[in-house]
Structure 1
Amino acid sequence: MTRRLKSKLLLCAALVALFAFSKGGAAAAGVDNDDYRLREGDLLMVTVWREESLQKEVRVLPDGSITYPLVGRLDVAGLTVAEVKERVGERLARYISDPEVTVLVTGIEGNQVHVLGRVNKPGPIVMAGPTTALQAISLAGGLDPFASGNAIQVLRQTADGDELLPVRYNDLIRGRSLDTNVRLQPGDTLLVP
C-alpha cells in the first residue's frame, strides 16, 4: 500500500469518526464536544494529518494527564477537546511544521457514578451529561420492591471530607421535596437502603 493511499485512508477514518462524534457519538453518549471537560479515565483519539505514526488512542490517567509521542506528559483533566487540540499542536510545532491535530473523545468512562443497594441493576453508570439522582436510579433499573425510597443518600467526597446528601425518592415521584433530586457529580455514590 502506498504512502499516499495510507494517508487518504487515515483521513477518511478520521472524517468518519468526526461525523459519528458530531451526531452524538462521544461514545454514543450525546456529549457536547465543545463544552465537555475531560476527566480521569476518559479515552481520546489523537491524530495528526499526514503523520500516521502519531495516530494514538490515549486514556486520561488518574493524575489527569496523557502521554503522547513528541509531546510527552500533558495535563488535560478539566480541559475541553479544543484546548487539548491547541496544546498538543503547540508542542508538536517544535517538530512538525504546522501540525493539523484532531482530538476526539471516544470514551467518557471518567464521568461515572455508582449506584449501590436495592436497585435492579447496581453498579457504575456513565453520565453523558448532567444527571440527577432520579435519572441515575432509572438507569440502574429502578428501585427494587424492598427499597427505602425516602432514605436514599448520595455519598460525595469533598476536600473537607465525605458528605451525605439526602434523596427523598418517594416524595420526588409525588412532586414533593424537589430540592432532594441531587445533581450528581463524577465520583458520587448513590446509596439505596
Structure 2
Amino acid sequence: MKDGADQRIHFGLVVIVLATSLSAQVLAPTQTHDKIPPPVETASLDKTLVPSSVKPHDGSFVIGNDDLLAINVWKEPDISRSIPVRPDGRISLPLVGELQAAGRTPLQLEQEIAGKLRNYIAEPEVAVIVQQINSAKFNILGEVAKPGSYSLVGETTVLDAIAAAGGFKDFAKQKSIYILRPNPGGGGENRIAFNYKDVIKGKKTEQNIKLEPRDTVIVP
C-alpha cells in the first residue's frame, strides 16, 4: 500500500511540473518574433495635438501696415492663414470679418479674434505671429543711387543702408553724412554724424550705428 501511495504522489508531482512548464511556454513571448511593442508616449502626442500655451511673439511689439501676419486657429485650417496688413491697417478673416490690426500687439489681436470666433467655435485657440516686419522702415536721401524708403530688416547699420541704396553718386560728401533720429517724446530730431571715410578705414567704427524705425540717413 505504501508503494502505491508513493507512486501516486510521484505521478502527481510530474503532472504539476509538466503543466507549469507548458503554461510558461505559452505565456512567455519568444525573443525573435513576438516582441511586445514599446508603449506609446502620451507626452509626444500631447505636443502635436494640444496647442502650446507659450505664444512665440513679443507682447510689446506693435503691428504696422504691410506687416505679414500668420494667424493660426487650432483645428480650423479654413480660417488659419498668412495675411498682410493692408495700407488702411486692417485685415479680413472668415467668420471674423474686418479687424483693425495696425497699432495693436499680436496678443491684443489674438484676443479679439478669439472673442469673435466664440460665436461659432467653442473655446477657440488663436495664435498671431508676425512673420515679416514691413512696417519698420528707414529713409536714405541725397547723393545715393537709389534714395527712398527701405524696410528695416534685422540689425541694419548705416553702411547697410548705403549699400541698400546702391552706393554714392560721384559728388557725395562722404565725410559729412548724418542721421536724423526722431526724439522718443516727439518734438524735434537728434542729429548723428557719420564719416564714411573713417569708418571704412576702421576708425570711429562706433559711428556705424544700428538704424531704428523712422531714421533718415542724409548723404549731402
Which TM-score applies when normalising by structure 1? 0.64
Q: Aligned partners of 2:153 and 2:90: how far apart in 1? A: 21
- Give the match's secondary structure for 2:155: coil
What number of residue pairs does the alignment pair up? 158
Match of 2:218 in 1: 191
Question: SS of 1:164's equivalent?
Answer: strand
In structure 1, list runs of 5 or more residues that go unmatched. 1-32
Q: 2:76 maps to what in 1?
A: 50
1:115 aligns with 2:140: yes
Does 64-73 or 142-151 show the bigger shift?
64-73
- In structure 2, the gaps of 5 or more residues are 1-55
Question: 1:118 Cα deviation (Å)?
Answer: 1.2
Of structures 1 and 2, the larger Rg is shown by: 2
Q: Secondary structure at 2:179's aligned position in 1?
A: strand
Q: In terms of mean alpha carbon deviation, does 107-116 or 91-100 score higher?
A: 91-100
Percent of aligned positions with the same letter in both sequences?
Answer: 30
Q: Structure 1 counterpart of 2:145, which letter?
A: N
Give the whole-Å Cα distance in 2 for the aligned partners of 1:138 and 1:58: 27
- State how far apart, in whole Å, the 2-side matches of 1:125 and 1:51 are: 34
Question: How well do the aligned residues superpose, as a CA RMSD in angstroms?
Answer: 3.3
TM-score (norm 2): 0.57
Q: Is the 8 A contact 1:40 1:61 kept in 2?
A: no
Alignment of 1:32-71 (within 5 A): 34=57, 37-41=61-65, 42-48=67-73, 49-50=75-76, 52=78, 57-59=83-85, 70=96
What does 1:40-189 align with in structure 2 at a 5 Å threshold?
Answer: 40-41=64-65, 42-48=67-73, 49-50=75-76, 52=78, 57-59=83-85, 70=96, 73=99, 77=103, 79=105, 81=106, 83=107, 86-88=110-112, 90-92=114-116, 94-95=118-119, 96-105=121-130, 107-158=132-183, 159-189=186-216
Q: Specify which structure has the higher proportion of strand.
A: 1
Cα pair 2:68 2:131 within 8 Å, conserved: yes
